[in-house]
Amino acid sequence: MKQFATQIRTYDWEHAPVSTEKISDLVFEWKFYPRKDIDYRIVSRYAKALKAGSVFPPVKIGLLAGKKIIVDGVHRIRSRQELKLRDVECLTLPFESAATLFAEAIKWNADHGRPFSGDEVRDNINRLKKFKFDVKDIVALTHVPASEIYREMVAPITVLKAPCGKKIYCIPGQPSGRELVQFKNALMLIRDVARAGCIPMDDEFLKQLVKQCRENLGRVLSNA
């Protein structure tokens, strides 16, 4: 599997400049939000707390391509909007890419608030993959074991063509423990058949079958 340079950066929010910004100038984009929805029960609770005099920490804003994008603090901002407040205190830092901004949003949303749901974790993994994050970075950001991430990254062969011309359609998806045993047994059978001379070693069907078995066995088990 191709490896990519780490895209996780360390941002010094403690020393970020504090400013009061107009909420209308801040940009909320779903592609940078690591959750599937906004919890309006939390928004309502925050609004009641604000009305009672509570003080919340500044929200985090990322500067990217001329936009002030919300990195962390969506519910705090929505609660202020519910109370018709126009401004909010912000910590602001520049970001070099959409990938690093999304990674930072995952880090801060994972540290507080409700835990990510299973669907949100899977969605975040897929988005990090599209941003070309290395598996080690995805593990660090999502706290999902590498073996599970490798299972999703393996691109299984879905159609094999036998020497007789018949197409064999493989079941899509990732192998279970039972299927991994079957892959191992299949590799042993292929080896024995090839050694016996029943199938030419350069046969395309044989090579594709071996490739599929090795991908599912090697990449999953070696990174478990």
* pLDDT reported for residue 22: 98
In this structure, are residues 187 and 217 in contact, taking their beta carbons and an 8 Å threshold?
yes
Q: What is the DSSP string of 69-134?
A: EEEE-HHHHHHHHHTT--EEEEEEEE-S-HHHHHHHHHHHHHHSSSPPPHHHHHHHHHHHHHTT--
CATH of 13-115, one of 3.90.1530.10, 3.90.1150.110, 1.10.357.10, 3.10.450.50: 3.90.1530.10
User: Six-digit token pair at 59?
Assistant: 């929200």
Look at the alpha carbons of 169, 175, 178, 181 in this order and tell me if their dihedral is positive or negative.
Answer: positive
Please tell me the distance from the alpha carbon of residue 175 to that of residue 192, in angstroms, as a whole number: 23
Residue 119: its pLDDT value, please?
A: 87
Tokens of 68: 């002030």
Write down the pLDDT at residue 167: 59
Please give the pLDDT value at position 104.
96
Q: H or E stretch including 160?
A: strand 159-161
The Cα 175–Cα 203 span in angstroms is 25
Question: How many CA atoms lie less than 13 Å away from 25 in the CB half-sphere?
Answer: 15
Q: In whole angstroms, give the CA distance from residue 118 to residue 148.
A: 13
pLDDT for 115: 83
C-alpha to C-alpha distance for 52 and 55, rounded to whole angstroms: 9
Specify the pLDDT at position 224.
46
User: pLDDT value at position 1?
Assistant: 39
Task: Tell me what pLDDT residue 150 has.
Answer: 64
> Can you tell me the distance from the alpha carbon of 13 to that of 30, in angstroms, rounded to the nearest whole number?
22
- Residue pLDDT tens, the chain, 224 long: 344 455 678 899 999 999 999 999 999 999 999 999 999 999 999 999 999 999 999 999 999 999 999 999 999 999 999 999 999 999 999 999 999 999 999 999 887 767 888 889 989 998 998 998 988 899 889 988 876 776 555 444 455 555 555 555 555 455 555 655 666 666 676 666 666 666 666 767 667 777 776 666 665 455 44
